[in-house]
Structures are given as structure tokens and as C-alpha cells.
Structure 1
Amino acid sequence: MNHPRRRQVTALATGVLLTAGIALAAPAATAGATDSRARTTRTPLVVNARWGGHCTYDRIVIDLRGHVPPVTVTPVSRLVYDGSGKPVPLAGAFFLQIRLHPAAAHDDDGRSVYRGPKLITIDLPRLKGLALTGDFEGYVTFGAAFGSKPAFSTHKLHHPERFVLDVAHRNVCC
């Protein structure tokens, strides 16, 4: 093959590849233009945290938009804010760190979507406080304070999506 013919074939092949790349990218760009919700991240969004007292357990519920991501619940000796390492001002004898990943409490534009409490004292049989301690690089972290060592169980609920942590205690309804 001579050089001018080789340049034509190379140019044609490059054009085909570029066109294919643009065609594959077009549906995503079009979706963002037609539906404002498509601009939000596919990362689950943490929108609220709430709690409740029941006869034999205290419950923490973390509400999400999207799916429930993997969650780790870890006993820790103290609660600190992610990033700064500053202590979280919650009184308690025992603490749990609740970490969701991947997750965010903000949208793609950096605006907070979380509407729950950032720091609150609670007076339930076991649960004494709850704090949002981090929303950083795909991790959303909460800290929970307890008056005594928590025996807990976790599960995911759907429609709407939420993560649940139940902390057992003696029956207070008798």
C-alpha cells in the first residue's frame, strides 16, 4: 500500500472510531439533558436519620435515596469527626460507628441532601445520642452513644430504602 492510500485508510479508521465513541457517549449526555434526576449520582444518598424507642429495643433508622449500600457497625472507644479527628460531644459509656460505603449525604453539585440531625442527645433506655460524623470521599459515617454495652442487630428494609440498627434492652412496657 502506498503512503497516500495508507493515510486515507488511517483517517477513515480514526473517523469511524471517533464516531463510535460519540455515539456510545450520546445516550448518557442526552439523559442528563432530558431528566434532571439523571444528573444525580448513582451513589446512594443518605437523606435522614431517625430513632425510636420500643418495649424491648431502641432503633436507629438511616433513610436512603437509591439502594442500601454495604454498612459496617463497629464498636469504638470514642467518637470522632471524620477528617478532623475532633471528638464528638456525646455523653456515653459505649459507642458504635456506623459507616455506609459507597454513599454520600450531598448531591453531585456538593449540596447537602441530608435533612436529619447532625448531633442530638437522646434519652432512651440504651440510646443516648446520635451524630453525623462524616460525609467524605464516598463514606457517610454516624456515631451512636449508649449508656451500657449495646447488644445490636442490623438489617436492611426496602420501599423506601433504609438501614436499621436495633439495640436490645429489658422490657420497659411491663
Structure 2
Amino acid sequence: MGTMHRAIVAMVAAVGLAASTAPAVATVPAPTGGCSTVYWGSLPKTSTAVGYSRLTDLRTGSHSCFDRLVLDLSGSTEGYSVRYVDQLTGIGSGLPVETIGGAQIEIRVDAPASWSLDVDPAVQRLYYHTFRQLVWLGSFEGQSKVGLSVRARLPMRVFTLDGPGDGSRLVIDVARNW
């Protein structure tokens, strides 16, 4: 056996001895609900897509790892901006809108509201883990604006889905934790 081979064997034996005498380290199991927010964040999410559709519905829901807002559109997903703001303001008027919660998210979509969109009351109290209020901020000059009052500035993700039919959906998820 050569000198180099003996040195490698000695190193492997030393590593094995160190590993066997090292204190046990507790492992933390991964969340069972798949609550990873690796690709989420609190920076603005935007799209400059161009098309024509109308905002037809707003829906909210609570899931095990996040709360969700869905904006239904009559056609393809339009341009949008989703961002944390210091103060929600009405579209057109620019007047501040008071909310409860630790942070506010402004959602603007380049689509006017459909005449059939029911936004009464303009401020809806939500008793979800993250969402506190859904606020209708108005529709003006081909754009609609919605506000979300949330518990704190938490990570979010924004994506679009096709359907149902010829429509599409803009989906905003806000995580329960960082």
C-alpha cells in the first residue's frame, strides 16, 4: 500500500470517527402543507399586457398557508400592478381611504369594471388569518383599483390563469408568514 493510499485511508477513518462521536443534531421536518415562500416577496409585481376585458368579479379565500384574492376578467389578463403602499387612495379622486391592518396592498388592473360587478359594500371586513379588509377603490378611465388591508407586510405572489371560458383570472396570494 502506497503512502498516498494510507493517508486517504487515515483521513476517511478520522472523518468516520468524528461523525460517530459528534452529538446528534435534531432535524426539523419540512412543513407538511407545502408552505414554501421561496419565490415570493414584498416587492411590486407588474405586467404590461395589452388587451381588452372587463373586471367581472372579486373573490377571496383562505388557504392553509396563504390568503387569496382573485380578480375575474371577461377576456385576457390585462396589464396590472400589485404593490404595498403607505396609503390606499381612491382612483380618480386620489383621496385617502382609511383601513385597519398593518399594511396595505394596492391592486390596479387595466380593465374597467363590468356593469354587473357588485362591490357593495365598498369596504368588506375579512376575518382571515392575513387579510383584514377588501376595499373597492373604484374604476376610472379604463382602470380598476382594489385595496387589501393585511395583518403585516408579508410575502406575496401574483400570477394569472386562463378561464373559465374566454376569461382569465388575476390571482394574488399573501403568505401567512415569512
TM-score between the two structures when normalised by the length of structure 2: 0.64
Match of 1:113 in 2: 116
Pick aligned residue for 1:71 from 66, 80, 83: 80
Q: Deviations over 1:69-126 (max 9, x none)?
A: 121111100111112233324211100110111x1104xxxxx231245320101111
Give me the whole-angstrom Cα distance separating, in 1, the residues matched to 2:151 and 2:119.
22
Looking at structure 2, the residues matched to 116 and 82 of structure 1 have their Cα atoms a distance apart, in angstroms, of 15
Secondary structure in structure 2 of the residue aligned to 1:44: coil
Q: Deviations over 1:19-39 (max 9, x none)?
A: xxxxxxxxxxxxxxxxxxxxx
Aligned counterpart in structure 1 of residue 170 of structure 2, from 147, 163, 170: 163
Give yes or no for contact 2:67–2:174 (8 Å, CA) kept in 1.
yes
Deviation at 1:149, TM superposition (A): 1.0
**How much is the aligned-residue C-alpha RMSD, in angstroms?**
1.5
Q: Give distance in 1, aligned partners of 2:129 and 2:97.
A: 21
Q: Indicate the percent of aligned positions where both proteins have the same amino acid.
A: 28
Residue 145, structure 1, aligned to residue 149, structure 2: yes
How many Å separate the matches in 1 of 2:124 and 2:52? 26
Structure 1: segments with no counterpart, 5+ residues: 1-41, 107-111
1:104 aligns to what?
112
CA distance in 2, matches of 1:61, 1:140: 14
Instruction: Please identify runs of 4+ aligned residues in structure 1 that moved more than 3 A.
Output: none
2:131 is the alignment partner of 1:127: yes
Q: Deviations over 1:39-86 (max 9, x none)?
A: xxx721101101000110100000111111121111100111112233
Distance 2:116 2:113 in 1: 6
Match of 1:162, as an amino acid?
A: R
Indicate if the aligned counterparts of 2:84 and 2:106 stay in contact, CA closer than 8 A: yes
